[in-house]
Chains A and B, each alone.
Chain A
Amino acid sequence: MKRLLINTTILIILAGLFASCKKRIEDDYMNPELTTNGSLGKLLSGMYMNKRVRPSYWDYYTFIMSTQAPFSQTVALQPTTQMYIPSTSYTQDRWTDFYAGSWSKDDNDPNYYGPGIMSTYREMQTTFKALTPLQQQQQQVFMRCAEVLLYDQASQMIDMWGDIPFNQAGSLNTDRQATGAPFDDAATLYNAFIANLKSLNTYFDTANIITSASAELKLQDMMFKGDLLKWQRYTNSLRLRLLMRISNVSEAAARTEVTTMLSDPATYPLIADNSQNAVIKMSPTALKSDLGGVFSDFRVAPAYLLDTLMLANNDPRTPVYWDTNQSGQYVGFPYNGSSSDFETTGKYATYDSATFNYNYNIPGVLFTASEASFLQAEAYERWSVGSPQTAYETGIRQSISFYYDLNHSVVLRSLSWDTLHVPQEPAITAYLQKPAIAYSGTATQKLAKIYTQKWEHFFILQAGQAWAELRRTGYPALKFATASASGATTPPVRLLYPSAEQLYNAENYSKVSSKDTRNTRIFWDIN
């Protein structure tokens, strides 16, 4: 009997243990390193940490310098059979970084990983939806800033692929289920962005932000520190870019909207000065541009840019863009040069060591004053609403000062170089008077000069814009070597949809698959 008692007791204790484990087991379900509390401010900062928004080694190495820059000749390309066939893995990475981002459990090295744009925006929407109406009103500003960034990045996606999933993209981030999103029409999306940016301008103009939200925004908004006037300028400038991008295909609509904007700068302020630029600066301790490896492999200057455009006209930007070759000369690699010449070490000029190769402080460039000036110059020239020459020359001056500022703010990885002297006014004036630079000639020639200068300004820092505008305008009139791969003898005019989208969003992909060729032009590309 005693034994029975003991055994029963043991059994009851065990049963008790079994039950008490239940709570512990439920607590152990959630990863302690993960939070379920989304924060609009922290998610907004995440958008700046997207590795295509800020400069990352991976983006520059696998995409900018191997796809966008060579296709717009801001870097020299070694002739190979398949030089015009972009790696589909790398283009898929580019696509994925917009929608989902990338992440590693071991080491979230910003050179390789970072949040997505669409996914972050959708998570912000999900978080926003869970707030009370009062909280929503107070925190709306985070959503609005994110919206501008979203349109900027999404339009860049359209410039590369055409139709993209947009309106229904990011289903995992909203209802936690993977549902294939349709590919939305590129032109319709562009129009929607243009319309929404107009109301965003009004919002930033009139927004009244409570102190707590503005303090948080000031911290989390790495680009403008919560300065809503700067956001307004960026919003309008972006809208101007998109309008000019569609101005060849929908000229009347673009002309009306652009004219309205440019004739009322008080309502539609633009980025008018380099201090208003939409750039994400680096903070060399933790967030730095780490592109040395890029510029040691993609180093060679292209001849048209360096020899024909810069050197021949004594461009003041030459020393800030380039280092001379081993013999102390600025020589670029000709578009039709040979592979062995390309490989001859020290034969060609390379990217400037201080400004690019060894610089930890290359910013992520979203929009600069110079681009806004060139866009205005084009509008003025085509639609006679203002002085194109002033805008054009302002654009060049802003570009020169932008690049010298870059050189003056370098944080060097190692070694040291003397800081370059800012070009004196006579040198700039002389440059502006060179026949190839001066604002003269027929309307076509003038436009060509605007486009060419803008292309030079975009350079490799905005290689995506350089490639898009090259396709839209046809300038500068570049020549490309012929590759021997059959079907890919010239650069493509768009990128192919990534296989992950073809395979796993098959139903929606089938509706755009006929357009999925390297020769299908983006809707604005009617050049």
Chain B
Amino acid sequence: MQRSFFVCTVLLLLCAFGAIAQEKKAVSGTVLDEKGSPLIGVSVQEKGTTNGASTQENGKFTLKVASNATLVVSYIGYLKKEVPVSGDVLNIQLAPDTKGLNEVVVTAMGIKRETRALGYAVSTVTSKELTQTGSPNFASALYGKAAGVKVIAAPGGASSGVSVQVRGITSINNSTQPLYVVDGVPIRNFNNLTAPSFGTTNNRIDGNGAVDINPEDIESLTVLKGASATALYGSEATNGVIVITTKKGSKARGLGVDVNYIFTKENLAYSPDYQNEYGPGYDAQTNVVNGIDADGDGMVTDADGSRHPYYRSYAQFGPKFDGSDIKYWDGSTRKYVENKNNYKDFYQNGYNSTANVALSNSGDNGSYRFSYTRTDYKSILPGSKLYKNNFNFNGTLKLGSKASVDLVSSYNNNFTHNRAYTLSNVFGSFDGFFSRLDDMQTYFDRYKTTNGYKYVANDNLNYDQDQRLAYRIRAANLMDYLWNNLRNNYDERQNRFINSATLNVSILDNLRFRGRVGGDFTNWRAVDEEHNTQPVGFGYTGKYQVEQRSNNIFYGDVMLTYSPKLTADLGLTVSGGFTGRKQNYTYQTSYTDVGLASENWFSLANSAGVLKTSAQRAEQIDIAGFGILNLNYKDFLYLEGTARQERTSTLPAAVNSYFYPSVNAGFVFSDVFKLPSFVNYGKLRASYGLVGNHPSIYQANVGYYQYGLAYSGSTILYQQSQSNSFGNPNIQSEKKREFELGLETRLFDGKIGVDFSYYNNKVSRQILLASTAPSTGATSNLINAGDLANYGYEAAINATPLTLKDFRWTSRFNFAINRNKLAALPEGLSDLTWNVEGGGYLIVKSEVGDALGNIYVHPRNQDANGNYIVNGDGYYTNNLNEYKYVGNMMPKIVGGFSNTFTYKNFSLDVTLDYRWGGKLVSIPTYYQIGGGMFESTLQYRDAAHGGISYNVIDDATANYVAAANGTRHDGLILPGVTEDGRANTKVISAAGYYLNNFNWRTEGDYSAAVFNNNYIKVREIALTYNMPKSITEKLHFQGLQLALIGRNLFYLYKSLPYGLDPEVAVGSTWLNQGVDNGTVGPTRSLGASLRARF
């Protein structure tokens, strides 16, 4: 296969030299707009060549062309026009393009194509859409703007990773993130070459490489979705490709300066629906049995007569707030009242400030643009902030008439202080639960002592005894959180260079060469300074760690393109080339062990134990040869075929080479058939392609880790087998084949445009790190585990519903529907199961034929008639041998809806995005229900909330008897039957109900942790005012724009209860996106922007 590929390529390129040189003649002319005014910077090209010119100040151009040439005249916002060269002087008038037909998009390998000629779907997003509301990175600005592109920005703000998913899930376990290509160079998206996903590291929310791309420098962004569109990228392409082109100097403008400033305030958007009536405490039975309080009322009386609720309780079933005097856990006497805003008080006010200056110019010898952007960001999380400096240079240098060089260089410098820390230990652990009684300021005051040590817990008798907490508290993890993020420093510094140089040569009129070299180099350092938590006399604590990581990508490609003139009706372009990429990754860390010997001296020389170090390295090489064949018949039928032969180092030698072909066709039927007059344009597309996804580096290796150990005066080396992620020497690359059909139309003079696609794909040989029984020797094993199939529909509709004299309303709506299913599993594997909540209490499982993301929990025990069985204590129990289906995580439909209203110089942009269908699993929410946190848990707690009255026979055995005028009113009887079939009459307390029914494992009903996740969100609003020319000219501006902006504003609808945010999930894998493990409060940003052009 490989040899024949070479032969073909060689032959094909040899053909190229058969082109015949033609005689030239000079033409000149003027290009005018529809009103007859000259247009500057219009591209005038000889058809089928790179030979071209631009119009000057007066709209004039001159050019030497072949005698029978046709000129292609194009300009942004105008319809492209083809003019046969008839005389020496031409006057060309362009008509405005109200239909947007001549859009040019950058496709795979950086090849520019007209949208019209494409046989597959792409989505493009403009610079304005990316920057309008000051999104801290371009990826989170994509929400709802491209059909079939699902964006999930992790909470935590500017430093947090943004996951982008194109057309559903194509890999169960491998990377699901698209390939990002910036100015032709595939850039790094993952921090660690050996781990193609991101989530959290040491509880801090990871970033990803794509967020470093500065939105202010992006000219255009194209999403290549289907396999045929991306096939030229082979093994990187299963998840789609995002092609980014940065801004260049514009010839039309000459020397120009842009100054932009954006400031937004970021605040906590929503708080959970907490109840505000009851303080901390357990049920009466627990109080009595565990000797917390003999009378079971939940208020503990000390020897000195002071009273207090039981601060160790994670649950909120203590006494009702009554304003009486109690002793607080800091020792002060306070009123027993709720602190309604203590959740909100935990967060701070954040902001995002972005300043950008860009300088651009253009002349006969080339053009350039230089820009600098400074971003300052403060998170709503206490202690987290960052800044970024971005420099970008984009220049084109003409080397005579035949050749030019493009240089693009960007430098990114980041500083991140205490990257956003997940709150899983606060909301996902009982040891983080604070109560409604708690005053957040006390936590902020007491997390460290006045001497700078960690808070002195009540049972800590070692130091700063005057500051010892008066009682044992529950929310120790909250104190630890503040200690980690306010006292300690985790500082990351990153320097990243992305460079590319591209040489374009027109060897002959119809033969072009392009060569490109590029690199993406990241150097990242972090220091971790953890202060001593206690005086060293009581033992060494604290830590100092330095980390260093480098990620280098070297990339190169060469391509020859031959476009002979076959006949007047038939156009042909043939390209062939090679591409290669080498990725290197190194990581090194050194850290103090045992603790810091001298207090708070952060130096590796200050390690109390033997200094520890570790290092990792990785190198990956991928090379490929590729060929492209394009046919164009009369500009209404377009055919394309591509091929790529690839070899990668991440697979064993026997199976490391793959071939990825694709074909596609576009048929502009509106040019062929007579259609009703309201149809301005219609095109059908069809494509088919094969792409792949290989295992990440070293994943398939089987071997031993070896460690050295100083022991008894000698060094002992010991070996360890792979106890997780066991390799597989027989692994093969994943293979995706995709078929796609599409329809594009424009109706009613372009007032309505529809772009519709249907796709159907199957990814076979899914590479999966399958969980295995530990008794096999490892907890997971890399396997090729069956096939995953997706199909879906996506559509983008744009319309101009209303155009009046000064008013215009344009609207863009898109949706994407994706369905997937597990199509096959290898022999011996009956299902794929993920144990989401340990102990198997909540699992995600798919058998063949199922969609991914089916959620199961243990069902309640029921009798033959379907009645719930109640045990002797009055509670429901679980049937641990069974599972019941409670829903699927995958959204049924996602999309966006944007509207722009312009009135004179004002314009209002409103962007909505939505998601419908699919569940979210939130274990922290479930625990908080069990802990009586939410308003809904007030039910049954008193007569007003539906509690029944009962008398207490004995609290220790929870022996309660219903009585009309009983002493307590927080009872309930669960509907159901006893084990021997009689109707249940056992009274239980409300607190007992919540604590048991929503318990951690045991008899807990985990279906209560699964929620419908539907929402419609007003993502962005921008109200923009463009200063009229009359004013700006006086001020010597070319343009001045002011805008009020808002991001992540509010939900028009959401189905999640308890104040839970639809976007709480962290991580790039599909499973992580369906599971909330306790993250960070959602934010809302409001601010203003100023854009000026000189």
Which positions in A face B, CB cutoff 8 Å? 3-4, 7-8, 11, 14-15, 17-18, 21-22, 24-39, 42-43, 45-46, 48-49, 79-82, 85, 88-89, 92, 95-96, 99-103, 105-108, 114-116, 118-120, 122-123, 164-165, 169-173, 176, 178-181, 219-220, 222, 281, 283, 285-287, 292, 326, 337-341, 343, 345-346, 358, 413-415, 482-488, 498-506, 513
Shortest CB–CB separation between residue B468 and chain A, in angstroms? 8
- Chain A nearest Cβ from B370, distance in angstroms: 34
Confirm or deny: B10 has a beta carbon within 8 angstroms of a beta carbon on chain A: yes
Is B26 an interface residue when CB atoms closer than 8 A count as contact?
Answer: no
Cβ contact within 8 Å between B719 and A339: no
- On whether the beta carbons of B656 and A486 are closer than 8 Å, the reply is no
Shortest C-beta distance, B1010 to chain A (Å), equals 18
Q: Which 7 A-B pairs have the closest CB atoms?
A: A338-B291, A499-B840, A505-B773, A28-B649, A34-B703, A45-B718, A88-B839
B521-560 CB contact bits vs A (8 Å, 1 = yes)? 0000000000000001111100000000000000000101
Residue pair A26, B709 in contact (C-beta under 8 Å): no
Name the B residues within 8 Å of A45 (CB-CB). 709, 716-719
Asked whether, in the complex, the Cβ of A26 is within 8 Å of the Cβ of B656, the reply is yes
B728 interface hit (Cβ, 8 Å): yes
Contact A486 B776, beta carbon cutoff 8 Å:
no
11 contacting pairs across A/B (C-beta < 8 A): A4-B17, A49-B709, A88-B1001, A100-B779, A169-B775, A172-B776, A219-B714, A219-B716, A413-B594, A504-B773, A505-B776
Known A-B contacts A38-B704, A176-B702, A485-B1002; the reply to A7 vs B13 at CB < 8 A is yes
In the bound complex, residues from chain A placing their C-beta under 8 Å from that of B647 are 21-22, 25
Find A25's partner among B558, B649, B702 (CB 8 Å cutoff): B649
Q: Do residues B729 and A176 form an inter-chain contact, with CB atoms below 8 A?
A: yes
* In-complex Cβ contact of B776 among A3, A37, A79, A180 (8 A): A180
Knowing that A100-B777, A219-B714 touch, tell me 16 more A-B residue pairs with CB under 8 angstroms. A7-B560, A28-B621, A29-B649, A30-B701, A99-B775, A100-B779, A101-B723, A108-B720, A118-B775, A123-B719, A171-B776, A176-B729, A283-B710, A341-B291, A486-B1003, A487-B877
User: Which residues in B have their C-beta under 8 angstroms from that of A219?
Assistant: 714, 716
Residues of chain A within 8 A of B1001, CB atoms compared: 85, 88
Do B620 and A28 touch across chains, with their CB atoms under 8 A apart? Answer: yes
The CA-CA distance from A504 to B458 in the complex, in Å, is 44
In the complex, A24 Cα to B622 Cα: how many Å? 10
Identify A28's interface contact among B291, B619, B702, B774, CB under 8 A. B619
Q: B162-215: which have CB < 8 Å to A?
A: 194
Shortest C-beta distance, A498 to chain B (Å), equals 7
A358 touches B291 (CB 8 A): no
A119 B289 Cβ-Cβ under 8 A:
no
A102-B703 in contact (CB<8A): no
Segment of B233-241, B340-348, B610-618 in the binding face: B610-618
Residues of B within 8 A of A482 (CB): 289
| Chain A residues in 8 Å Cβ range of B698 | 30-31, 34
Closest CB in chain B relative to A280 CB, distance in Å: 10
- Given A29-B650, A222-B711, is A11 in contact with B13 using a C-beta cutoff of 8 Å? yes
Cα A483 to Cα B873 with chains together (Å):
13
B722 A38 Cβ-Cβ under 8 A: no
Q: Is the CB of A95 within 8 A of B774?
A: yes
**Chain B hits for A326, CB < 8 A:** 461
Interface: B673 (CB within 8 A): no
Contact between chains at B17 and A101 (CB < 8 Å):
no
Q: Which chain B positions have C-beta within 8 A of A180? A: 773, 775-776
Which residues on A sit within 8 Å (CB–CB) of B291? 79, 337-341
| B558 A14 Cβ-Cβ under 8 A | yes
B292:A39 contact, CB within 8 angstroms: no
- B460 CB, min distance to chain A CBs, angstroms: 8
Taking A118-B777, A179-B776 as contacts, is the C-beta distance between A222 and B707 under 8 angstroms?
Answer: no
Chain A nearest Cβ from B621, distance in angstroms: 5
* Chain A, Cβ-Cβ closest to B651: A29
- The interface of chain B, by Cβ under 8 A from chain A, is 6, 9-10, 13-14, 17, 194, 282, 285-286, 289-293, 300, 312, 458-459, 461, 472, 507, 536-540, 558, 560, 578, 580, 589, 594, 609-610, 612, 614, 616-621, 623, 625, 647-653, 656, 697-698, 700-707, 709-712, 714, 716-724, 726, 728-729, 770-779, 781, 783, 828, 830, 833, 835, 838-840, 843, 871-873, 875, 877, 881, 958, 995-996, 999-1003
Assess whether A513 is in contact with B558, with CB atoms less than 8 Å apart. no
A220 touches B721 (CB 8 A): no
Does B781 lie within 8 Å of A340, measured CB to CB? Answer: no
Closest to A182 in B: B775
Closest residue to B289 on the A side, CB-wise? A484
Contact A172 B778 (CB under 8 A): yes
Contacts of A283 in B (CB 8 A): 709-712
Residues of A within 8 A of B656 (CB): 25-26, 29
The reply to whether B771 and A503 contact each other, CB–CB distance below 8 Å, is yes
Complex Cα distance, B875 from A488, in Å, reads 14
A96 to B778, CA, bound (A): 8
Q: A34-B701, A169-B776 are in contact. Are A107 and B612 (CB under 8 A)?
A: yes
Distance in angstroms between the alpha carbons of A3 and B648 in the assembled complex: 33
Chain A, residue nearest B1001 (CB): A88
Complex: chain A residue closest to B834, CB-CB? A503
Whether B881 and A513, one on each chain, are in contact in the complex, defined by CB atoms closer than 8 angstroms, is: yes
Q: Are B716 and A89 in contact (CB under 8 A)?
A: no
Report whether A500 and B623 are in contact in the complex, using a CB–CB cutoff of 8 Å: no
Output the nearest chain A residue to B712 by Cβ-Cβ distance: A283
Residues of A within 8 A of B649 (CB): 24-29
Q: Which residues of B contact A27 (CB under 8 A)?
A: 649
Cβ-defined contact, A107 with B775, below 8 A: no
Q: Which of A95, A102, A287 sits near B724, CB closer than 8 Å?
A: A102
The docked-state distance in angstroms from the alpha carbon of A158 to that of B123 is: 60
In contact, B779 and A34 (Cβ under 8 angstroms)? no
Q: Are A46 and B720 in contact (CB under 8 A)?
A: yes
**Given known contacts A31-B618, A486-B871, is B300 in contact with A340 (CB within 8 Å)?**
yes
Contact B839 A34 (CB under 8 A): no
Residues on A with C-beta less than 8 A from B623 are: 18, 21, 25
Chain A residue at minimal CB-CB distance from B9: A11
Closest to B312 in A: A343
Q: In the bound complex, do residue B723 and residue A345 qualify as a contact, i.e. CB atoms below 8 Å apart?
A: no
**A99–B777 Cα gap in the complex (Å)?**
5
Q: Report whether A18 and B774 are in contact in the complex, using a CB–CB cutoff of 8 Å.
A: no
Residue among B293, B723, B877 making CB contact with A119, cutoff 8 Å: B723
Most buried by B among A38, A123, A172, A176: A172
8 Å CB contact of B720 from A115, A338, A500: A115
Residues of B within 8 A of A89 (CB): 838-839
CA distance in complex: A283, B722 (Å): 26
Quick check: A502 and B619 within 8 Å, CB to CB? Answer: no
Contact A286:B781 (CB < 8 A) given known A33-B705, A38-B719, A292-B539: no
Interface pair B776/A178, CB less than 8 Å apart: yes
Instruction: Name, among A18, A49, A337, the residue most crowded by chain B CB atoms within 10 Å (CB to CB).
Output: A18
Query: In the bound complex, how far is the Cα of B617 from the Cα of A28, in angstroms?
Result: 11
Nearest CB in chain A: distance from B135 CB, A? 32
Give the distance to chain B from A32, nearest Cβ to Cβ, in Å. Answer: 6
* Inter-chain contact A3/B723, CB cutoff 8 Å: no
Are B779 and A96 in contact (CB-based, < 8 A)? yes
B1002 in contact with A100 (CB, 8 Å): no
> B703 to A29, Cβ gap below 8 A?
no
Q: From residue A214, how far is it (CB to closest CB) to chain B in Å?
A: 15
Q: Which of A286, A337, A502 contacts B711 (CB 8 A)?
A: A286
The answer to whether A346 and B461 have CB atoms under 8 Å apart is: yes
A120 with B721, Cβ < 8 A, contacts A18-B625, A343-B472 known? yes
Contact of B709 among A32, A100, A287, A484 (CB under 8 A): A287
Minimum Cβ distance to chain B for residue A43 (Å):
5
Chain A residues, Cβ within 8 Å of B507 = 3, 7
Residue of A nearest to B1000 (CB): A82
CA distance A178 to B873 in the complex (A): 43
Bound-complex Cα distance A150 to B1016 (A): 59
Contact of B723 among A100, A358, A501 (CB under 8 A): A100
Asked if B17 and A7 make an inter-chain contact with CB atoms under 8 angstroms apart, the answer reads yes
